Amino acid sequence: MSGSPSVAIIGAGLSGLAMGMALQDAGMPDFTIYEKADDVGGTWRENQYPGLTCDVPGRFYQFHAMPNPDWTHRYAAGPEIQRYIRKVAHERDLVRNIRFATEVTEAVWEDDHWRLTTSDGAQRTADVVVAATGVLHHPKMPDIAGMDTFAGRSFHSARWEHDAPIEGKRLAVVGTGSTSAQIVGALAGKAAHIDVYQRSRHWVAEMSNPRYSRAGRALLRRFPRLNYLSYHGLRAVLFDWLAQGVVQPGAARRVFQGIARKNFESHVKDPELRARIEPDYPPLCKRLIIAPNYLTALQRPDVDLITDHVDRIEPDGIRTQDGVLHPADVIVYATGFNAGAFMRPMQITGKDGLTLEEAWKDGPRAYRSVALPGFPNLFTLQGPHSPVGNYSLIRIAETQVHFVMQWLEQMRAGEVVAVSPTAEATDAYYRDLRAAIPNTVWDTGCHSWYHDAQGNVQLWPWTAKRHREMLSHPIPAHFEIQRPAPVPAAAV
């Protein structure tokens, strides 16, 4: 391979756009972003429910090269983030490289390139595939008897039906995770009554979401360096130091957990309610829910927390296992996503006919979160065991993009044709990873989407700083590298 490699990026969410910008900056224009929907944004396009807010401060939840001085609040709302993503896509002219409404259904490695099949039946080729398909984009519906018999409106939170009547109606919200907390906090007082069905308990931090002043936003526009300092200050203090507590015991963990407990106790004074909702596992074992008014909403007279398990759905509402029928006009299933899907349901076939399903028969795995043995020139952004806890997914993606770009530079220089991690290097990485997991807070007695069906933690068990260090430079000995065939000497 000589010259810029052709790159197929699958997904026009945050990770896909980060990859596109890096290719632009490197002067590699031969890339196409395939997007199954008709707009950019990924999870911020898919989720449009009331109260949707990012739980990472906006001034850290942004592209490093595209700072946004105009965040209106500390924690940006979903529509504001989506506007920012669209702005980046248009200002960087990435839209010219995006094929909207074009889902990649199959990718097959053939000799030294990938053959892609899209939903319209067309086939295209690329030297490199970057899977930027995200983590939380396949809604997971519960398996409850009678769901199809309900006479009112019902839908998953990621498929919000904006014309569904809410005001003056009885609303049932199934689930008590982050999405449920935001929905309940936003709609309490608007709906006539809300029933919240608790499947599992969560630690909730009820934190205010202050508005940034116009003067402060103008100052950031006038002096962009301040935005840069704010970004790196948040990274250093909140995420590189305090967030150490999730991956290793010590002072940071004690501080973080102590703050979470105090916050919870200060907002839930009623001992009866606290006994019903306080988890029996330590804070941070599951993703900490940050919501400005959920705990307050649970204490309203028009909001009921139902802890009896759901038995079935009936035309008029939800019947719990104690035999009580709870009337409902609208049911929202805030039941999360299939976090282990990654690139699937796309069919991927690598070297020697190896399929992704065969490679992942024991669960998703990738070398240092970015590449798969047996799949040359296939890179993953937000791939298996990425550090996707309470951290900026944009920062993670940019770290992974930096790693991918180093291989692409070698391809452009004609030094490399194809590359994939060795099985031995990947196995060694997973031995280290499994050995580190018992130090994490996620392995302290709970089960969440951070775990697979067998209860194994599926997150990065080290600090985000170590993620940056491990992906700072490729280690050639860890890879199978196909190099260009030598040019035969001219005949004498």
Rg (alpha carbons) of the chain, rounded to whole number: 24
Question: What is the mean predicted confidence (pLDDT) over 392-413?
Answer: 96
Tell me what the mean pLDDT of segment 456-474 comes to: 92
- C-alpha distances in angstroms, 33 versus 21, 114, 295, 380? 11, 15, 41, 14
Structure tokens at 85: 């993503």
Tens digit of each residue's pLDDT (9 = 90 or more) over 30-89: 999 999 999 999 999 999 999 999 999 999 899 999 999 999 999 999 999 999 999 999
The whole-number average pLDDT for the span 225-249 is: 81
Q: What is d(CA 228, CA 38) in angstroms, rounded to the nearest whole number? A: 32
* pLDDT greater than 80 at residue 1: no
The Cα–Cα gap between 336 and 282 comes to 22
pLDDT-above-70 percentage for the chain: 97
Confidence of residue 492 (pLDDT cuts 50, 70, 90): very low
- Round to whole Å and give the CA distance between 430 and 251: 27
Report cis status (omega within 30 of 0) of the bond before 301. no
- The SS3 of residue 366 is coil
Nearest to 62 by CA among 43, 96, 88: 88
Which strands sit side by side in the sheet containing 347-349, from one edge to the other?
Answer: 123-126, 113-118, 104-110, 347-349
What are 35's two structure tokens? Answer: 């997007």
pTM value is 0.94
Q: Is 243 exposed, middle or buried (0-12, 13-18, 19+ CB in 10 A)?
A: buried
Among the ranges 1-10, 142-151, 240-249, which has the highest mean pLDDT value?
Answer: 142-151
- What is the DSSP-derived secondary structure letter of residue 355? B
Better pLDDT: 144 or 344: 144
Q: How many CA atoms lie within 13 A of 12 on its CB side?
A: 30
Report the distance separating Cα 164 and Cα 204, nearest Å: 28
Q: What is the mean pLDDT of the chain?
A: 94
- The tens digit of pLDDT for each residue in 446-455 reads 988 888 888 8
Higher pLDDT, 489 or 8: 8
Angle 151-155-161 (CA atoms, 0-180°, nearest 5)? 100
Structure tokens that stand for 64 in this block: 């490093």
Residue 291 structure tokens: 């919501």
Domains of the chain: 7-138+338-482 (3.50.50.60), 147-202+286-333 (3.50.50.60)
